[in-house]
Amino acid sequence: MSTSRRTVIAAAAAAGLAAAAVGPGAGEAHAGSGDSAAPRRARFGELADGTRVDIWTLACGGIRLKVLSYGGIVQSLEVPDRHGRPANVSLGFADLESYVERSPYFGALIGRYGNRIANGRFTLDGRTYELPRNDNGHSLHGGDLGFDKRVWRVEPFTRRGEVGLVLTRTSPDGEMGYPGTLEVRVEYVLTRHGDFRIDYEATTDRPTVVNLTNHTYFNLAGEGSGSILDHRLEVAASRYTPVGETLIPTGELARVAGTPFDFRRAKPIGADIREGHPQLLFGRGYDHNLVLDKGITAEPEHVITVSEPTSGRVMRIATTEPGVQFYSGNFLDGTLAGTSGRVYRQSDGFCLETQHFPDSPNQPSFPSTVLRPGRTYRTTTVHSFSAD
Ligand code: GLA
């Protein structure tokens, strides 16, 4: 990002974005960055069993983030436009009941396994495990009570130039059919450079499979502002994993060249979405894993850029992961009213879920999602915001 762009973001923070997040008694602004606010907690609601759900608000680098202890949900992500005006660029709800009753994974932390496992079944070390079939006979996003529907322990922290939250949870052996007690630790971090970073970690006491991600739906013009089809998307992926009718990968790594899946040069998301490509019919649009050319990396590498022409907002994504599920909000159908009360219609938001490939436990040629005792699962994804 250029210095001038960073300056716009820092100026926006100074002008009130961060100040609004601080409020009276909200903790001290972080020394050094001058624009951060220590995380503060408020009550968001209560689950049917009386469990309190908190909403945490934190700000740094011109970005303001709100996170729920329920589902580790990114409830709001405010980012300045080219004039320094903030807007919430993530789809969501204003109340807990909507998240519990009807959320299509808005903002949620997904586990134990992001995306689908075919027929809700996999075999590991000769043993077959059965998972809940919550999506056309397949298991989606960890089953019907995945990590998106659990209450997480949340601890705030403030470091030099960063503020964040540590979310932890012990997923018991056998939860949703998955073997092993899984200790999960996820950090949501805002940096003074306008980055929102997510660090995932997990360990197990028995061999298992893990594929964690975050399911934020973005609209860089602001949630509830309409379609994302004019957003320009660029992804460093020469291949993708085609799927069958029920969105299970066929196992092939097909070339994107000459297909609507070619985002190697920036183009509007809507440019080819109405092409009669059979893969687009299966997903009612894009709902596909793009195979990142860089593969698995020890450090996050920049692979995706999304820009929104009217606001000038730009989001760059760097990840350690080998794939990204690109979902163009196909199943939004005008039946949900979002955070600001506006209705979400088809393609009013998009997801870029960085992760391993769908159904890897049943696809021997895909990068492995197996985690064994003594090893630590570790992945990182960074969303960097700026404005042009
Ligand atoms: C993922 C899936 C989609 C859909 C959405 C949530 O992106 O691949 O098919 O389930 O989550 O609606």
All structural domains of the chain: 6-387 (2.70.98.10)
pLDDT category of residue 37 using cuts at 50, 70 and 90: confident
For ligand 1, atom 7: residue with the closest CA? 327
At 120-134, the pLDDT tens digits run 999 999 999 999 999
For every residue of 232-299, DSSP letters joined together read EEEE--SEEE-B-TTS-B-S--EE-TTSTT--SS-EETTSSTTS--HHHHHHTS-EEEEE-TT-S-SS
| Catalytic-residue membership of 175 | no
At 236-256, the pLDDT tens digits run 999 999 999 999 999 999 999
At 70-103, the pLDDT tens digits run 999 999 999 999 999 999 999 999 999 999 999 9
Say which of 30, 353, 356, 383 is annotated catalytic: 353
- Looking from the CA of residue 247, the nearest atom of ligand 1 is 9
Residue type at 269 in one-letter notation:
I
Does 10 score more than 80 pLDDT? no
Return the bridge partners of 233, or none. Answer: 267, 306
Q: Which two tokens stand for residue 2?
A: 């250029």
What's the mean per-residue pLDDT of the chain? 92
| DSSP conformational letter for 324 | E
Strands 213-214 and 217-218, sheet pairing: unpaired
Q: How far is the CA of 388 from the centre of ligand 1 (A)?
A: 30
| Catalytic-residue membership of 299 | no
Q: How far is the CA of 369 from the centre of ligand 1 (A)?
A: 19
CA dist 350 and 369 (Å) reads 25
Cβ neighbours around 107 below 10 Å, total = 27
